[in-house]
Structure 1
């Protein structure tokens, strides 16, 4: 773990979906029933979920992230009509209980052992996050689970990132923000956070004017000395 990266930091903040939780594990759990279109269905579901959050956030017509998750799945099922629509309920139930990436608990504990507090800051609404955290047994590894709900908008709005600062009574300079989503890293960098882009899928970089502080392949790389 880079001591330079953590210098002056007292809080490590994590995006939830895609960073701590594998968003594709819901479809993977029912891959046999979904059939050969499982991968594109899951990709479309995730893409539309995010697109809807940006559209509703920018237009000022906030909707809960769960309602957007449902709407995104409906679009994906319409896009791939060969998938049995009766799976909708099972897929949504699986999304409520997504798998955490295997390195997550130990990484959170290691950061706390080094004196940092740990928190989730997510577009997910409170009920979604509470169930996901409980299902993955992550509650004991976190100091707070924060939803953007109070801001009535989504990341990348500065109001969403400010929630973490307000909750802990600190400035942006005291926060390390970790996300697998490059757009989220751009928003967090613009807000003033130090950022760790968890580039799990080896995606090409973008937003050159809003670079991450570091790029890592998985969260446990935070524990490797620089």
Structure 2
């Protein structure tokens, strides 16, 4: 393993030991968008399989939003890595941006994508879905809930979804976006461009930008935010 891979492995292993995200005999559906985060998540699970005694298997599931995205490079990568890939065609893009024309489309789009992911995971006999949310995502979500909803709310490292009888896990929860970006470049992962019309124009993008400014001024502030989130919210 390279130095960056060791860093990724160490943080994913730590999250797994603390929150029991992956256990023996799990069959995991990895939500693969084609972005850097989900591709690094695939690589992290490969490292866990190779360098720990855990006995589990995983497949990649891509929810095609029907927006003309070319997934051929990603499919070739999965084939080379012997990772089963299921690409599920949907009309989510048309529903969100043409039929509904939501002013704030992210929530609806996420709900529809997750619903489709859960259905395909069930169809493929998976008991868990792995999502590529990382440290920066967790902190950003917490800050958004405080700023725009007046409450402390954030996603959990592991959460049972009773409607679908699946458990959602977030193995990258201790991994920074900076590390993920560096790894995606070092490994030359086939990152697919994000075609979302709302990209960079959302409240989340504003909060992310502010968080980066704060991190530049006070290095380590993101990690301290995450530590606070763990103590106050995750460990209740």
Question: Shorter chain as normaliser: what TM range?
Answer: 0.3 to 0.5
Question: TM-score when scaled to structure 2?
Answer: 0.36
Question: TM-score when scaled to structure 1?
Answer: 0.38
